Structure 1
């Protein structure tokens, strides 16, 4: 009996381990024998990694008057996909209360996917056993429109652009294609005292390239609403945000999040976020990071 089991294992093993080849992929996507493999990747949040098409962060209507660098560790999970990554942030205030620039990048991402997820996302067989990727670079320009000191609320314009610099399109981790978003964010203080309470929100448009045969891009209204509770050296910000693509093919992610920050000193801040996704955002996420502010003379 043991000999029979050993023989069976010997013959079955190659088919269970090495079947993710070109024939597996072609059968999985219904390949027509001509189309490029990347055309079968569904470039929407539901069928990509958690950092591919993230919902932009909620603005508060103010241009950040700082020059800073931040580093965070992130964890994302959904059944069949466990992802961890580092994230880098940079802020450069060019003119106080007028214009700032922000940079965001995921330099390294480690992921573990189940066979079911790889099949659902139509991953290309050449990349089947990969576990590392890097993300696209985002550059934001923020321009102050109104200030609460002289108007009813704070209002700022954000122009965001995604540079196609990512890897692992074949594992459906990123799109490796350009995109942009335009939005107005506002902030309005409701309570001014020992604890400050503000309402904040955003509205705009989110656009990204999908490189499909019948259309080249997806357009989505972008929205968000939240609160900010601020003490002397800390702040908490619950928020709801999302966008809604017009193709309705997994392009309507939404999220509820709670962000917090603690000022260790004027130059050093700790921050973190917990987030749960719904709609076409399948991941629950956690972020913990540290921000360092630079004195202006160092960067002039």
Structure 2
């Protein structure tokens, strides 16, 4: 019995040293893995730091709820499937508050891509980010040759899966100035052309903020309840580590009822984004006489209801 007690006492320091060493090594390995992740759109999943869609130059007066399914893929390398939602609430046709995001995503990547990103997992589920934005219409495109809007927004840290290189789990924000022209032709024909420039910032895992200049150019041809839009957009960061995404988009919308709109879209990733994305969904538009002036038109906002 005494011999057993001596063995236990003698091994206690060894066990304690092992526990301390294991904890220290685990912390070092965890820190090493985390620091090897690159928090840029070219080195993470497609929903980590996506290129935002164009902001409309007109705030509109209708509450708009859009629900969309998105499918991103790079043949033989990666697929991501997720829902997307957006809710826009305008006030008096001058200011609007919106929330949008991707609540959850399912992803699969090749083993080679997982290793290149220093990610823990090559497949699984991940919670997504929420975004909040305030839009202010500075110049009414219905009354002037040009319409101007200011958009200020930020992202939450709800996105998970950081160690799988899915979301950055860090705050970010943007300030966007959009300028455009709305031309109403004969009958039901209308043309909308606009561009924007923005400042974008997000926190990285090396205790530095990456700042980027965003840009966007888009146009839409509308005829009655139908609309065809094209867009090229991206941003350019200062770290040059896959932080300069560029995409081209094409979308079609069709209004099938006074309050219901269907939309489909395709995105081609040109740089620092997955090469292909398909999206399809619907948007519901509701009048709000309490918060809005009843005589203001909405067709410009209807055109971009599916693209928050």
| TM-score bin, normalised by smaller chain | 0.7 to 0.9
TM-score (norm 2): 0.81
Determine if contact 1:87/1:107 at 8 Å carries over to the other structure.
yes
- Correspondence for 2:212: 220
Structure 1 segment 1-300 matched on structure 2, within 5 A: 35=31, 37-79=33-75, 80-93=77-90, 95-124=91-120, 128=121, 130-190=123-183, 192-194=185-187, 195-212=189-206, 215-296=207-288
| Structure 1 residue 39 displacement after superposition | 2.0
* Alignment size in residue pairs: 265
Unaligned stretches of 5+ in structure 2? 1-24, 293-308
**Structure 1: distance between partners of 2:63 and 2:290:** 10
Q: 1:150 to 1:34 in 2, by over 3 A?
A: closer
TM-score (norm 1): 0.83
Greater Cα offset, 100-109 or 129-138: 129-138
- Greater Rg, structure 1 or structure 2? 2
Unaligned stretches of 5+ in structure 1? 1-25
Higher relative contact order (CA 8 A, sep 6+): 2
* RMSD of equivalent CA atoms: 2.1
SS in 1 for 2:35: helix
**Structure 1: distance between partners of 2:184 and 2:286:** 30
SS in 2 for 1:164: coil
Q: 1:233 to 1:122 in 2, by over 3 A?
A: same
Q: 1:69 to 1:150 in 2, by over 3 A?
A: closer
| Structure 1 residue 298 displacement after superposition | 9.1
Q: 1:250 to 1:197 in 2, by over 3 A?
A: same
SS in 2 for 1:145: strand
Q: 1:293 to 1:60 in 2, by over 3 A?
A: closer
**Structure 1: distance between partners of 2:262 and 2:94:** 26
